[in-house]
Structure 1
């Protein structure tokens, strides 16, 4: 079965998965964690801090006051733990923060697109790597997966996550009038 995706080069897909497997091996953890890498969290929050002029403590307080998911304490520790790597941010939280920062014009359009695309690629690579490693744990003999097979699995996972995000967006547009208005203002076709 030959899969293709217009945004993904199979060699890049293989390298993304391989990099995630190597990173996991370096952690020494038994279970594979599917979370946002610290470098991406740092990149996002350094851009927000630069454009907003807020300190990390003030930014965390604002996120807490607004009820942004994942920020429940107003003591400035959650953001510090995310930035230090002591806590790992969920991909959905990261993506919500991207949209939140873009809406406040605290990151540029190109930074938003860059981080969103990297988030989608890294999440799919992590999910693929976890699936491969879990499969290897259950087998007696070591299977030899080719670069093409790994790229195919990555593209399957990436495409599945794209469909899931689209379904979530459509569900949100059905029940959230504010989201429908935003979609209309962007020129997107929305049915009531």
Structure 2
């Protein structure tokens, strides 16, 4: 008789365990089926155009390089202090852009560019004017990029950076054009 109880008790207890596990799983399934899954869509207006940031960085580096060439080429030109001021402003923009990018976890690739300078124009008497024209052209590119960033982003830090930098670059553009009669 003990044996019969054992043979009946063990399978029936196993059956009870299996039934309780199945009941428990079906209850969990009901709990999880009540969740509503929402797909998060990124806010397109809040995003930044990374190509614009990369182009801005590249153009900024070009202006710094051109101003260095002007300085090295002839340290006695009139308005050298203006060239150095423009270079300092662009170096400050470079630092601010790097800091903003770091704070917002944005990676801006290092620029890969060539200045494409006309060698004949560099040997000419008016080489400084030629380089200043190139610098003004790059400043215009930067102003356009900054205006685009200012108009399209909702990121307050980048909007503030774009507004501040744009006004500084516009002033540099005017000063260079007036000082070098361009």
Question: Shorter-chain TM-score category?
Answer: 0.3 to 0.5
TM-score scaled by length of structure 1? 0.31
- TM-score, normalised with respect to structure 2: 0.32
Q: Which has the higher helix share?
A: 2
Report the structure number with the largest CA radius of gyration.
2
